[in-house]
Structure 1
């Protein structure tokens, strides 16, 4: 496209090369409607479209969040209850979602299929510009909140999807802390309220207020359209103009995001948060010291990311180490956030006490002043700069479309009337920062943005037993008062309204409405999989696996150490080892020197434990301790050297350091356990029926339980050096490792040259394999918390009942997630979501997420078999589910993911042929195949293996559902 030329009403205002993306950026303006558009022409078939609106809320009713949900519940051209869900069921999308931020709302989609991409774009544009919710109050009632009353005699309650989602969010202490922190920092602007919605305020939202919010912000003149990838851009512009934008006239939209006036003095505030009646208050206080930044450049923003990594998040970050050693808390973390009009820099402390509040700020600012005066260690900064630069150049987002990341990034500038293209550039900023290493750039940045800055707040939250019970009682009393003031006619109106809403939710869309959603043909699907080549060989006693890949000069390595040489008791210490590797001294160097070496030379280093299941085996799995490292090819010698030093020469003798790491890890679990609830309860159910389930629990809640016990046992802490050394000696042996390498042939040859002498330095010995037998038993369990919602899981193993895996099971996962469970548990039950998983080893689990219910959800699970017996839909709807299932099987395989895919096939004894047979079964699946699964599900549900995490009173009221009721570890 030519500069200043007009294409379908869009004027090309800028054309610029962006070498960081190897693409061309086009900035366009739609004259009639006032819409802005940015197109990135890049050689990428994974196309991305997004339309965003600047949406600063004025209160915490969650109006922006509820709007995001609601506009996707039917529109002019697609008059269904939930076109979004219908799209998910039947699209080959590589991304499909919507996101509410503090000051903007984004609606992005992505697909490799041209026809599918067009369909997605059409549905989303119609949703935001012509939503049914503009005139349909029931949609807001369902997605936001409403009074629920089944009969005039019942108690009045609140229900709604966002209402219950945010009750789940507000069950996590870190979310509560962040809410108070933002309110203190931004008392006069949109950032001081919660765009997601505070459950206490959501019922204050009126339909009239909702409509006014839509009318104010959802206009093309307030929109930001983003397109990325290989496409016929003129055809896309023509479609957007003719179908949508030409119908609107440009207007002036007041969506200004006000700037909070700087403080003349910092704030200090404290608030209580609820813990369970059996929880210990000790070590449960959390602090957040946060600064609101002055005006920052792109280089300044990147500079603060580097400072954050260097001072707070790398394994030996000096500011973090100072605070931990001073006893301020068990764990210290931090972040820099520049996706706000006024960026913020945060230091968070967990595992603390209220008495440490004052000392935190004193210690931080004294240390920052010292660093400014004496100068920051330049090698530390350079190491953090290197790892930041590596991430920018690698541009890998774990299989998500890279264009999606670019689309989100440009809004960090565009939303504030800054240059969006500048957000994609980093070369100039990196040059500035490298030059800054030779001077005082970073010290002056700290001086200006932190030490001379009074716009800051130190906010703490402390535990208080019974607070949640008090809130629930107050809510019940409030609702009782509201009901008592209603006339009999008003009460009957709510009963009728409840009945009408439930009838609407239960009623299927008409065939005519469903037919409005564009749909691909089964002939558009291919049973073929993207094959990942792997070559197996030996190097001495070690097994090598080469995955040929062009990866922009980056090599990805993984060292798979087998855990079957350990005992059940030792498995816990292997988990500890994965948390501590590269964070303790070696015989050669201190851990801070190692951390600096890793950051200077590698693009990443990690260790964890995992279980890879055998493809078609009821009990088969491979338990592994996996060390991953990636680097530019030129840095391969350093990669091999660092890995060798860590596995061969790490010392586990410093009890003080080991204790510090144990308590830090426990503090992280204390904060995040509830957030991981769906994973915890799913694994807990699977642990009742399979060895691999037991293994995964011992890396989950089982690990947390043992960790909490260890943290409070001085004798056990003193024994840690011996335990860890014994486990490391057993694991880190050439004869006990499979090593994968992703790169090009000559790069692999070089890797072998470097690896051969390195392996000779590794210790070796002979240990029996097959020792790992997990004997721990599991029962139906209620895990009580102070949370406001539940995670409810039930399942079992269908192979135990004589059934085998089928492709129809993958289709049923889609049907359950977006039809049966979606309707019964999310739409009608008010939960945030629910899912089902069938595994090749026979494990099957159903799980709800942020669910206000418990026994009601178990009843939904119990009725599933009957639903399947009567399953009857049109061929078109069945085709939709098949297409949607294929989408989940087609995650793009980036260079970083090729190694894990290849090794999963190797350890799982799978093959591309087996994967293609599964895909063929999916494509050939029909309604009768789904009905046949009623017997499978019915047999498993009768076993009644259940696990629930959630509200203490809900669990205790569930009677004999559980064999035992426990609390989260203390």
Structure 2
């Protein structure tokens, strides 16, 4: 499984949003700066084949055990670092800082204080004074002529396999097949929404009748480049009802397309949602992550909270990843021991509610030949799905109460935001909203909040689907002053 994962990663060479050419250049630098062949780090085929041949001949234990013993178990060059929390450190640091400032101030004359005030005012004026045109012209920038008028269009062919819509994108992918299976979640009961993230984790990290969760994970690693399951929620422009789907995403070499779809079916239909102790671990892990997110990503928590007050899609997302979700996890941690049968039954109800061909969508990307060869495996996978959901569709229509609120957490950063739905004021969508939101982020908030106000940052975000515009600042001590700018 490990070898397949490494080989898949090398062949796919997926650098995400990072420029692929720059990634290759940086990879070659390790050799190049020492006057060695810069292309050597980019050539993985022969070393990989040699390692695979050695593993086949000697076995993984003979290859890796001596290395583990030499460089890990018997390595004398090691150190253990233990960090202990000190709840009084912040207050001691603050007191020490105040003492230093008091000493500095007491040593200053009236003239020194006046000069400091003058220099501070001079700095403020410089920060708030716009740069002259000649200075702005010296900054490299793009003109409208540099931006192509025609957008990049992804080739899309809409087809049908066994009554299910299939989107196919004929692109060069280095022999990798990328696939998404999308299921409609509109039959799910509203009260089951907070269980969705844990349900998705359970599909990947609980075993089947014949495979433990470790064996299932290893099988996925041997046969594919990875499988993920997650919910997707979005408002739909011009409609009140949101889009809410369950997405199963996977990728594999084209020659293993059959294995990929067989594993899709295994994860969706064969995983047994009955392991109480594993599920309790998921709950504890999720609760710890959410508590940590409150401190480290307070702006995301606040944004989700405001979005939930303004549209249904935002409310659904907040139920699965905001403060409401954390409160649900805190109660669920005790409920796992008290009513596991009920929770397990709810997990199965979630599976029954969305798992059907009705409302299903398949999305595939590969070159034309591999797309054609994969169609029979898609058909076989769809044949194994139920035709219809036994659960009736429901209508979600919920918002958090529209009121100002504050959440108190132990952090030195204040996350402050305001939000509104500009579609409700009569605004019709056009390009101006994108320009305005960029101007607010990169000019207004940057100059007044970051440069002059000393805040850690600020940004503006506009959702063209719902019409919600969010303005945020990440502020330190000067909270009241900086909040005026939003």
- Output the TM-score relative to the length of structure 2: 0.90
Mean Cα deviation higher: 792-801 or 522-531: 522-531
Residue 585 of structure 1 and its aligned partner are, at CA, apart by 0.9
* Match of residue 386 from structure 1: 4
Gaps of 5+ in 2: none
Q: Which residue of 1 is the match for residue 348 of structure 2?
A: 725
Partner of 1:494: 116
Residue correspondence of structure 1 range 738-757 to structure 2 within 5 A? 738-757=361-380
Give, in angstroms, the shift of residue 784 of structure 1: 2.4
User: What per-residue deviation string (whole Å, max 9, x for no partner) do you get for residues 228-266 of structure 1?
Assistant: xxxxxxxxxxxxxxxxxxxxxxxxxxxxxxxxxxxxxxx
Distance 2:219 2:368 in 1: 27
The corresponding residue for 1:844 is: 469
SS at match of 1:825: helix
2: CA distance, partners of 1:694 / 1:418 = 56
Report the 3-state secondary structure (helix = DSSP H, G, I; strand = E; otherwise coil) of the residue aligned with 2:232: strand
Cα deviation 1:132-189 (Å, max 9, x = unaligned)? xxxxxxxxxxxxxxxxxxxxxxxxxxxxxxxxxxxxxxxxxxxxxxxxxxxxxxxxxx
1:591 aligns with 2:213: yes
Aligned residue runs from structure 1 range 516-535, under 5 A: 516-535=138-157
Aligned to 2:317: 696
Is the contact made by 1:805 and 1:839 (CA closer than 8 Å) also made in structure 2?
A: no
Residue 908 of structure 1: aligned partner: none
Q: 1:776 to 1:516 in 2, by over 3 A?
A: closer
1:825 aligned to 449, 456, 462, which one?
449
Matched-pair contact (CA < 8 Å) for 2:204–2:217: yes
- Tell me how far 1:420 sits from its aligned partner: 5.1
**Residue in 2 that maps onto 1:402:** 20
CA distance in 2, matches of 1:490, 1:432: 73
Please report how far the alpha carbon of residue 753 of structure 1 lies from its aligned counterpart in structure 2 after TM superposition: 0.8
Matches of 2:403 and 2:305 in 1, distance apart? 9
Residue aligned with 1:528, SS: coil
Q: Which residue does the alignment assign to 1:769?
A: 393
Deviation at 1:394, TM superposition (A): 1.0
* Separation in structure 1 between the aligned mates of residue 116 and residue 157 of structure 2, nearest angstrom: 67
8 A contact 2:232–2:247 mirrored in 1: yes
Tell me the SS of whatever aligns to 2:272.
coil
SS for the counterpart of 2:80 is strand
2:230 to 585, 608, 629: 608
Instruction: State the Cα distance separating 1:632 from its structure 2 match.
Output: 0.7
The equivalences for 1:435-834 within 5 A come to 435-437=53-55, 438-439=58-59, 440-465=62-87, 467-614=89-236, 616-617=237-238, 619-701=240-322, 702-713=324-335, 714-717=337-340, 719-763=342-386, 764-777=388-401, 779-834=403-458
The CA deviation at 1:556 is: 0.6
1:794 offset after TM fit, Å?
Answer: 1.1
Partner Cα distance (1:588, 1:724) in 2: 20
Mark the CA change 1:427 to 1:676 in structure 2 (over 3 Å): closer, same or farther.
Answer: farther
State the superposition RMSD in angstroms.
2.5
Distance in 1, matches of 2:30 and 2:440, equals 36
Deviation of the 1:518 alpha carbon: 4.3
* Cα distance change on mapping 1:839 and 1:496 into 2, 3 Å: same
CA displacement at 1:414 relative to structure 2 = 6.0
Superposed CA deviations along residues 331-354 of structure 1, whole A, max 9, x for unmatched, are xxxxxxxxxxxxxxxxxxxxxxxx
Q: CA deviation at 1:650?
A: 1.2
CA positional deviation for 1:851: 4.7
CA distance in 1, matches of 2:25, 2:299: 30
Q: CA deviation at 1:765?
A: 3.2
1:555, CA displacement in angstroms?
A: 0.8
Quote the Cα distance in structure 2 between the aligned partners of 1:465 and 1:521: 53
* Residues 304 and 314 in structure 2, CA contact (< 8 A), matched pair in contact too: yes
Q: Which is richer in helix?
A: 2
1:430 aligns with 2:55: no
Taking structure 1 as the reference length, what is the TM-score of the superposition? 0.47
Structure 1 CA distance, aligned partners of 2:290 and 2:43? 37
* 1:588–1:649 contact (8 Å) kept in structure 2: no
Secondary structure of the structure 1 residue equivalent to 2:417: strand
Q: Residues 528 and 664 of structure 1: is their aligned pair in 2 closer, same or farther, counting only changes over 3 Å?
A: same
The structural deviation recorded for 1:596 is: 0.7
Deviations 1:670-719 (A, max 9, x none): 44443322222222122221112212222322323322332243325553
Is the 8 Å Cα contact of residues 168 and 364 (structure 2) preserved in structure 1? Answer: yes
Contact 1:548/1:742 (8 A) holds in 2: yes
The answer to whether the Cα contact below 8 Å between 2:354 and 2:389 also exists between their aligned partners in 1 is no
SS in 1 for 2:406: strand
Which has the bigger relative contact order, CA under 8 A and spacing at least 6? 2
Query: Are the structure 2 counterparts of residues 605 and 850 from structure 1 closer, same or farther at C-alpha, using a change threshold of 3 Å?
Result: farther
Q: Distance in 2 between matches of 1:446 and 1:506?
A: 59
Q: CA offsets per residue over residues 343-383 of structure 1, 9 Å max, x none?
A: xxxxxxxxxxxxxxxxxxxxxxxxxxxxxxxxxxxxxxxx1
Cα contact 1:563–1:772 (8 A) shared by 2 = no
Report matched runs for 1:891-930 at 5 Å.
none
Aligned partner of residue 238 in structure 2, secondary structure: coil
Q: Is the 8 A contact 1:546 1:741 kept in 2?
A: yes
The 8 Å contact of residues 630 and 639 in structure 1, kept in 2 or not, is answered as yes
Contact 2:309 2:400 in 1 (8 A): no
Name the structure where strand makes up a greater proportion of residues: 1
Structure 1 residues 527 and 799: alpha-carbon distance in aligned structure 2, compared to 1, 3 A threshold: same
1:887 is matched with which residue? Answer: none
1:367-416 deviations in Å (ceiling 9; x for gaps): xxxxxxxxxxxxxxxx1121122112111222331123234434556678
Pairwise CA distance, 1:470: 4.1
Distance 1:795 1:776, change over 3 A: closer
Runs of 5+ consecutive residues of structure 1 not aligned to the other structure: 1-382, 862-970
Do the aligned partners of residues 472 and 711 (structure 1) sit closer, same or farther apart at CA in structure 2, a change above 3 Å counting?
A: farther
Q: Closer, same or farther in 2 for the Cα pair 1:585/1:499, shift >3 Å?
A: same
Listed one character per residue, the Cα deviations across residues 511-537 of structure 1 (whole Å, up to 9, x for unaligned) are 112122344442333332111232333
Secondary structure of residue in 2 paired with 1:735: coil
Task: Write the distance in 2 (CA, Å) between the matches of 1:854 and 1:562.
Answer: 43
**Residue 856 in structure 1 maps to residue 481 in structure 2:** yes
Distance of aligned partners of 1:726 and 1:523 in 2 relative to their CA distance in 1, 3 Å threshold = same
SS of the residue corresponding to residue 453 of structure 2 reads coil
Task: Indicate how the Cα distance of structure 1 residues 504 and 810 shifts in structure 2: closer, same or farther if over 3 A, else same.
Answer: same
Length, aligned pairs only: 478
Deviation at 1:647, TM superposition (A): 0.6
Distance in 1 between residues matched to 2:49 and 2:291, nearest whole Å: 41
**Contact 1:834/1:848 (<8 A) preserved:** yes
The alpha-carbon deviation at position 645 of structure 1 amounts to 0.8
Over 3 Å counting, the alpha-carbon distance change for 1:830 and 1:442 in structure 2 is: farther
Residues 548 and 618 of structure 1: CA distance in aligned 2, closer, same or farther (over 3 Å):
same
- C-alpha change, 1:715 and 1:414, in structure 2 (3 Å) is farther
* Deviation of the 1:628 alpha carbon: 0.4
CA–CA separation in structure 2 for the residues paired with 1:619 and 1:858: 32
